[in-house]
A and B are shown apart, each in its own frame.
Chain A
Amino acid sequence: MKHSQRAALLTLLNREMLNRGSWCGETHIQKAAFFLQDLLGVDSGFEFILYRHGPFSFDLRDELSSMQAEDLLELAMRREGYGPTYVPTPFSETFLERFPRTTARYLEQIRFVAAELGDKAVAELERLATAFFILDREGIVDLKRRALRLVELKPHISLPEARFACEQVDSLIERARPFMLEEEE
């Protein structure tokens, strides 16, 4: 995927997340992009590691900066005491119109992620994304072991919370199946 196509993908993701009520701070976008890539197979080329609030990509952080510089996103304050929100700029819709193929190709996947994650706060996103990371990257299938691993990695998460997050992720995977893309060439 070219830089400009990736920017179109993230512009669309930002718009759909906001439509679904997401706060759309960096963490919300990071976790949504993680599920979009690692669960649904949208090959955006970001490398995620366990870092801030779970899976995190420094490449994605750089991409968001580039998009600000290119007048596609801007940071806005919506409420004091909360983190900033990424919002589209007046130019972003015009920009998206230049990418009919890219937006059509990934619209279903983006809408699925936005519908599933749009109403979630940072703490819940952290639990879900980390639970999926453990399953996906470490291959721990057993629910109890996965929950214990989640608590080990994120000690501020209680065991019942961890277990519930793992159950939620299993159910999310089932709902995602119709939207999963084959590996792209």
Chain B
Amino acid sequence: MTKIFHEIRDPIHVFIHLDWYEKKVLDSRPFQRLRNITQLALTYLLYPGATHKRFEHSLGVMELASRVFEVITKPTNVTDEVKGLLPDLGNADALPYWKHVLRMAALCHDIGHLPFSHAAEEELLPKGWTHERLSRSLIESDEMRAIWKSMVPRLDPEDIVKLAVGARKAKDLQFSKWEAILSEIIVGDAFGVDRIDYLLRDSHHTGVAYGKFDHYRLIDELRNLPSFEGSSEPALGINGGGIYSAEALALARYFMFSQVYYHPIRLIYDRHLMDFLSAWLSQGTLLPVGTFPIDIEGHLKTTDDEINAAMRIAASDAKAPGHHAAHCIMRHCHYKVLYERDPQDAKLNSEPGAAIARAAEIEFGKDPVRYSKPKVKDVATDFPVRGRDGRILAAISASETLSKLQPTAMEYVFIDPQLKDKAKTWLGKNRDKILAAAGEQEDQDHEA
């Protein structure tokens, strides 16, 4: 007899339940491919436990999205004011449809990821392409459409796309207030379950305990609220009683970024990986243009496995394209930190690391120097809080802790280990001069 419901054991959420249609998505080629895409790229070279995959993360996101949906649509958690802002909450017949859409969107939100997740995305996809756009192509592919079409009620792929990638990445689509809220459940800056799952899961696998927080309490206190007192715009907010767990989430994110995601050694391995991929792809192995494939079949064929095998061969063949980068990765002889952004230097020049990297390239050549400026992460304190007296407060007004959190700018310049001592001496002598000269050029229209 065909099983209607399935359950999967998970180290974070214990059991994840799937229905028959979700199992079909699980068994599809795009989803099974995620078994071979590491969540944290080469982070396992620093944190050996970090070998987990996008596969289990996507299941976790579905589980959490479902829990949030149940909480924020529960009639006792919806005030009349919010019903006025979001009439969909009163449409009991439509809610099961949207729950299906939300769960499918959560399952599929990462299916467009390239090998090694984010490490090579910006540089190695054709202009205008992102992993979200690839996810969208896959959700709208014939293979996946057949599943959406077979469902009762039938799911509209555009609805799944909206919730899976959000307004930031689906700029051509118009979002109703309800769709915007549902997409926030998955990809939202403040309480998106993508973020909640990856913090918990990455923390578990890296062994870095900072990423843990009381997500049970957090989810239980989430509510649809007006963005601010009297606003016509609803947002995913929290009851005052949940503010401590929201603080813990923000702190977990802060620590995980500083300790794991933006750890300088992880950043330099990303650079080495990108160097290898640029060289490897330029051979025309996948596409002659030197980018990752964006057609569905090409995408489905490319996972970490193919890259790892190629890297292993290139590392031991001095003539192979990308040999040096592959060697740095496989033999753990990564470039070393020459310079780390100092806030005082940033008073002289907005991007002191970039200025030093340019000067180092002139001094030592391009090959031994690498520069990394990870994207500044918003601290995501822009959400409403319902105080005990029923008033809507801004999060930084409701929490002293959140009001103190600031985003952090980071920059690193790396140097070939063989040149480290020489480069340190050079930098010691020239640092102030480099920064002052670069600062004077900032207001010019073009890069000097």
With known contacts A65-B376, A71-B346, A77-B396, A82–B229 Cβ distance under 8 A: yes
Smallest CB-CB separation from B380: which chain A residue?
Answer: A65
Alpha-carbon separation in the docked complex, A42 to B26 (Å) = 48
Kindly report which residue of chain B lies nearest to residue A91, judged by CB atoms.
B347
- Tell whether, in the assembled complex, residue B396 and residue A70 are in contact, meaning their CB atoms are under 8 Å apart: no
**Which chain B residues lie closer than 8 Å to A65 at the CB level?**
376-379, 407
User: Which of B232, B442, B447 has the most chain A CB within a 10 Å cutoff?
Assistant: B442
A2 and B343 contact, Cβ closer than 8 Å, known pairs A68-B407, A70-B350, A84-B397: no
Residues of B within 8 Å of A49, CB to CB, are 167, 171
Q: Interface size (A, Cβ < 8 Å)?
A: 42
Are A77 and B409 CB-contacts (below 8 A) given A84-B396, A99-B443? no
Question: In the bound complex, do residue A82 and residue B228 qualify as a contact, i.e. CB atoms below 8 Å apart?
Answer: yes
Interfacial chain A residues near B233, Cβ < 8 Å: 52-53
Q: Which of A3-11, A14-22, A109-117, A174-182 contacts B (4 or more CB under 8 A)?
A: A3-11
A69 and B350 in contact, given A2-B447, A84-B397 (Cβ under 8 angstroms): no
CB <8 Å contact, B229 and A81:
yes
Contact call B175/A51, Cβ cutoff below 8 A:
yes
User: When A75-B396, A77-B394 are in contact, do A5 and B443 touch as well, CB less than 8 Å?
Assistant: yes
Is B9 part of the contact surface with A, judged by Cβ < 8 Å?
no
Q: Which residues from 39 to 76 on chain A have a C-beta closer than 8 Å to any C-beta of chain B?
A: 47, 49-53, 58, 61-62, 65-66, 68-71, 74-75
Q: In the assembly, what is the distance between CA of A123 and CA of B232, in Å?
A: 8
Question: Is A135 in contact with chain B by the CB < 8 A criterion?
Answer: no
Which among B232, B351, B377, B394 is the interface contact of A4 at CB below 8 angstroms?
B351
Whether B368 is near chain A, meaning CB under 8 Å from some CB there, is no
| Contact, CB under 8 Å: B174 / A50 | yes
Do A98 and B443 contact each other (CB < 8 Å), given the known contacts A26-B382, A47-B171, A62-B376?
A: yes
Contacts of A98 in B (CB 8 A): 439, 442-443
Judge if B29 is at the interface, Cβ distance under 8 Å. Answer: no
B393 contacts A69, C-beta separation under 8 Å: no
* In the complex, chain B residues 364-395 whose Cβ is within 8 Å of any chain A Cβ: 375-379, 381-382, 391-394
Cα A47 to Cα B376 with chains together (Å): 18
- In chain B, positions 391-442 with a C-beta closer than 8 Å to chain A are 391-394, 396-397, 403, 406-409, 439, 442
* Interface check B38, CB cutoff 8 A: no
What separation, in Å, do the CA atoms of A123 and B439 have in the docked complex? Answer: 40
Any chain A CB within 8 A of the CB of B283?
Answer: no
B79: Cβ under 8 A from any A Cβ: no
A181 to chain B, nearest CB (A): 14
A94 to B, closest residue via Cβ: B347
Interface size grouping (class) on chain B: 35 or more
Tell me the bound Cα distance from A99 to B168 in angstroms: 31
Report how far A75 CA is from B407 CA in the complex, Å: 11
Q: How far is the CA of A100 from the CA of B180 in the complex (A)?
A: 41
**What is the bound-complex CA distance between A26 and B232, given in angstroms?**
16
- In the bound assembly, the distance between CA atoms of A21 and B407 in angstroms comes to 27
Q: What CA separation (Å) do A83 and B384 show in the bound complex?
A: 9
In the complex, B231 has a CB within 8 A of chain A: yes
Cβ distance B19 to chain A, nearest Cβ, rounded Å = 32
Most B Cβ at <10 Å: residue of A3, A49, A65, A99: A65
Contacts of A75 in B (CB 8 A): 381, 396, 403
From 81 to 137 in chain A, residues with beta carbon under 8 angstroms from any chain B beta carbon are 81-84, 91, 94, 98-102, 122-123
> Are B443 and A102 in contact, CB atoms less than 8 angstroms apart?
yes
Alpha-carbon gap, A91 to B394, bound state (A): 26
Neighbouring A residues of B392 by C-beta, 8 Å = 81
Q: Which residues of A contact B135 (CB under 8 A)?
A: none
In the complex, A53 Cα to B85 Cα: how many Å? Answer: 13
Q: A151 → chain B, closest Cβ, in Å?
A: 13
Task: Please name the residue on chain A nearest to B173 by beta carbon.
Answer: A49
Sorted nearest first, the 10 A-B pairs with minimum C-beta distance are A69-B409, A4-B350, A156-B232, A69-B407, A65-B378, A58-B168, A66-B376, A69-B376, A99-B443, A65-B407
Binding site for B on A (CB under 8 A): 2-5, 7-8, 26, 47, 49-53, 58, 61-62, 65-66, 68-71, 74-75, 77, 80-84, 91, 94, 98-102, 122-123, 153-154, 156
Other 10 A-B pairs with CB < 8 A, given A26-B382, A70-B346: A49-B171, A58-B168, A65-B379, A66-B409, A69-B406, A70-B350, A74-B406, A83-B227, A84-B394, A99-B443
5 intermolecular pairs with C-beta atoms under 8 Å apart: A69-B406, A81-B229, A99-B443, A102-B443, A156-B232
